[in-house]
Amino acid sequence: MKIAVIYTSKYGSTKRVAEKIADNCDNAFAFSTLSDIQNIESFDKIIIGIPIYAGSTTRDMRNFLKKNWDAIKPRLFGVFVLCWDEKNYIEFINKILPEKPDDKVILECFGGEIDPELLMEFERKVILELTGVSTKTSNIRNEQVVAFAKKIMGN
């Protein structure tokens, strides 16, 4: 069985989570949507990793999903979200995916991470207003990430 964990990440936390999932699975590979993923059809299970910015995700992820949906859909095993507004994560997924995923697709939210030092001045102000975060803060639940990897491996 071959597994692809496909993510996009502006500030690095989704990348780290995608790599952790791949590290905890056999024969799994993490790909950024900006990398050249060859042959999606050669993977048995596909995991999509989505960070949320201003209620959506990056254009490259949206384009990637649209362009490759026919190949992704029958292989889609799970979608994970990184965001601050965790109660809305299912809504985010339904808005971003070209189609509502089947009930068997596992949907998870692992929390999020914000490092104001990586942001532009105006973004820092907006983030402070919305979240109250002024110094690097992470609430990513690593145990949940590892448990998700176990689900992918089927145990």
| Residue (13 or 33) nearer to ligand FMN, CB | 13
Q: What is the nearest approach in angstroms of ligand FMN to the Cβ of residue 143?
A: 17
Inter-CA distances, 22 with 48, 87, 117, Å: 12, 26, 28
Binding segment toward ligand FMN, per CB under 6 A, in 26-34, 64-72, 81-89, 99-107: 81-89
Task: Please write down the HEC assignment for all residues of the chain.
Answer: CCEEEEECCCCCHHHHHHHHHHHCCCCEEEEECCCCCCCHHHCCEEEEEEECECCECCHHHHHHHHHHHHHHHHHEEEEEEECCCHHHHHHHHHHHCCCCCCCCCEEEECCCEECHHHCCHHHHHHHHHHHCCCCCEECCCHHHHHHHHHHHHCC
114 lies in the site for ligand FMN, by CB under 6 A: yes
Interaction residues for ligand FMN, span 127-146 (CB under 6 A): 127
Asked if residue 6 binds ligand FMN (CB under 6 A), the reply is: no
Of positions 4, 112, 148, 149, contacts ligand FMN by CB under 6 A: 112
Which of 24, 40, 68, 85 is in the footprint of ligand FMN by CB under 6 A? 85
- Asked if 57 is part of the footprint of ligand FMN (rule: CB under 6 A), the reply reads no
Binding map of ligand FMN across residues 8-27, x = CB under 6 A, - = no contact = -xxxxxx-------------
- Interface positions with ligand FMN (CB under 6 A): 9-14, 51-55, 82-85, 112-114, 119, 123, 127
